[in-house]
Structures are given as C-alpha cells and as structure tokens.
Amino acid sequence: MENIIVTPRSLSKGNNPLLARIKDAGYNLVFPNPGKQPTEDELVEVIGDAVGYIAGVEPITAAVLEKAEKLKVISRNGTGIDNIDLETARKKNIKIRKADGANARGVAELTIGLILAAVRDIVLSDRSLKSGIWNREKGFELEDKTLGIIGCGKIGQLVSRFALEFGMNVLAYDAYPNPDFHPSGNFRFDALRAVLKNSDIVSLHCPPLPDKRPLIEAAEIATMKHGAIIINTARQSLVDEKALLEALDSGILHCYAIDAFDKEPPDDLSLAKNERVIVTPHIGGFTEESIQRATEAAIDNLLESLQEA
C-alpha cells in the first residue's frame, strides 16, 4: 500500500472518520507526530515513501522535498501555502492543492470575537478581577466606527459583512479587489495607506509579502488613529512586533490580537505577556464545522490529484 502523510493537528491523531476515505481508496496513513506539528527531521524520515501529503502549517522545506522520491501531491487543509518551498515543489513536479474558503467562517467569527474582546477590554478585565482588582475599563461601541480590512478574499468579505451588521463602516484593501463585492454603501475599497489612516480597527486577512518583510512597521503604525486596534488572524510576520510593542506601551495603539504564529507553539511568549495583547493558539479554523469542510476539501483534492497522476 502506498503511503499518505497526514500532519494537521486536527487530524493527525487519526480519529477523524473522514480519513477512512483515504484508507478505502487503498492508501496507508502515516502520522509523523500525532497531535503536534512535525519537525523537519520527522518529515524527512517519512516522506521518501509517500505519494501524497495532507499538510498543515508546518514548514515543508527544500530539505524535506528533496527526499520526496514518490510524492505527487501536497494537499493543504487550509488556504495558505507560504509554508511550502514552492520552487522545489515545482522542480519536482509536485502538485499543490488548497482547501480554499473551507475555514473562512470560523476565522471570520473569531475575528469578530477578538474585535469585541479588544474594544471592551474583556481579557484585561477578566485578568484584573481574577487577581482581585476591580478595575473598569471604558470601551467603545462599534456602530459608526470604521473597520479596515487588509486582504478582502473569502474571510475578509465575511468579516466585512459581519461588521456592517454592527453598523460599522468598512474600508478594504486588496491587491486584486473583487469589483463584484459591494455589500453596502458603507463599504468601499481604498488604498492601503488610506485604510490604515482612517480605520479605528484594522484586521489582517492577507498572505505574507513575497520578501517576508512586515506589512505593518513603525511608519505604518504612525499613520494610524491614536488608540487604534490591530487584529491579526493571518500571519505573525505581517507585523513588526518591536514597533507594535512600543506603540502599545506608549498608548498609540490600544490593543493587538493575534491568532497565528510563525512557530507553533511559539518559543518566545514576551508578546503574550503584554496586557494589551490578546493571544489565541491558532483557533480561527479550529471549529467542528471548519475542520470538516477543510478535511473534505483536502481529501477530495488529494484523491483527485492522485487519480490524475
């Protein structure tokens, strides 16, 4: 039987019944590090005999792919593929497939949750009261405030719709804006600088920049409204964290919420220790419904690609 590697933490314990579809198709499932993100060495150890790979967010490096003698397809259970060395995959004729939009609602709903937590200081209030401190933080309401969306694909569009239902105005920046998306007169596409300058809250839903430099650095933060909030459910590398922490400590920014980290779990928790930072352990797409949609899409893409190979 040919091997299929399965690494997403939501699947790698092997108890999702949808995985039976792969077994029924005649393949053997391999879980390099069940329930955890596999290391490069762990992937190198198993990838030589694999023809398919259902991948999570772990780095799939050139060193890993060079050992992939039989691999035909990498099927992501999400949309991001910046964790894959695409040039090496191309050279080895390894097909890359994505589960586009499968986790969009889960991420969008978490984004709204983080926005509400930030504007009402829910996490800070919880920490204070549990420490015996009665300290009421004055928040603000969302109606008539402006939400800036950076990256207006399926997730950004859902967040826009949710925000409009709260009575917010929405400004969106996208490198390739969809001219057919116009959900309300209170929504419009604008330039990146204008979105940053005019938004009370900025939410990131875009991939990393090609050169991996931060999208939001000190210069960008300086253009934002005093007391603005940044929500990041996309990629840790999009924000210069040194500039961010300085802005939080000085009060230029009110709050920062982040759900995605370059290394998971992160080695450095200094960001999480700042009282104006809300951290969640990459739970945006970690809902029962999102997992099922993403798993179905990833398996469909995997089996389809193997049949075509």
Evaluated on CA atoms 7, 281, 256, 163, the torsion sign reads: positive
Q: What is the mean pLDDT of residues 284-304?
A: 96
| pLDDT over 90 (residue 22) | yes
| pLDDT over 80 (residue 309) | no
Q: Which residue intervals of the chain bear CATH 3.40.50.720?
A: 2-102+288-308, 104-279
| pLDDT over 80 (residue 235) | yes
Q: Is the pTM of this model over 0.85?
A: yes
pLDDT band at 236 (very low <50, low <70, confident <90, very high): very high
| pLDDT over 90 (residue 58) | yes
CATH superfamily name and code, 2-102+288-308: NAD(P)-binding Rossmann-like Domain (3.40.50.720)
Mean pLDDT of the chain: 96
Do residues 51 and 306 lie in contact, with contact meaning Cβ atoms separated by under 8 Å? yes
Q: What is the mean pLDDT of residues 94-107?
A: 96
Share of the chain above pLDDT 90, in %: 93
Q: What is the mean pLDDT of residues 5-27?
A: 95
Angle at 251 between CA 198 and CA 240, to 5 degrees: 70
For the domain made up of 104-279, give the CATH fold: Rossmann fold (3.40.50)
- How far, in Å, CA of 251 to CA of 247, rounded? 6
Which strands sit side by side in the sheet containing 187-189, from one edge to the other?
187-189, 169-173, 146-150, 201-204, 228-232, 253-258, 277-279
Lowest mean pLDDT among 33-37, 123-127, 186-190, 267-271: 267-271
How high is the pLDDT of residue 219? 98
| pLDDT over 90 (residue 269) | no
Three-state DSSP at 177 gives coil
Task: For 191-221, write each residue's pLDDT tens digit.
Answer: 999 999 999 999 999 999 988 899 999 999 9
How high is the pLDDT of residue 264? 87
Helices within the chain (DSSP H only): 20-24, 40-47, 62-65, 86-91, 104-119, 122-130, 154-165, 192-198, 218-223, 241-250, 288-308
Q: Which residue type sits at 145?
A: K
How high is the pLDDT of residue 210? 86
Q: What is the mean pLDDT of residues 36-56?
A: 97
Three-state DSSP at 289 gives helix
How high is the pLDDT of residue 270? 86
How high is the pLDDT of residue 211? 87
- How far, in Å, CA of 294 to CA of 300, rounded? 10
Q: What is the mean pLDDT of residues 70-79?
A: 96
- Name which residue leads in pLDDT, 269 or 179: 179
Backbone dihedral region of 232: left (phi > 0), alpha (psi from -120 to 50 degrees) or beta?
beta
- How far, in Å, CA of 304 to CA of 27, rounded? 14
Q: Which residues are catalytic?
A: 235, 264, 282
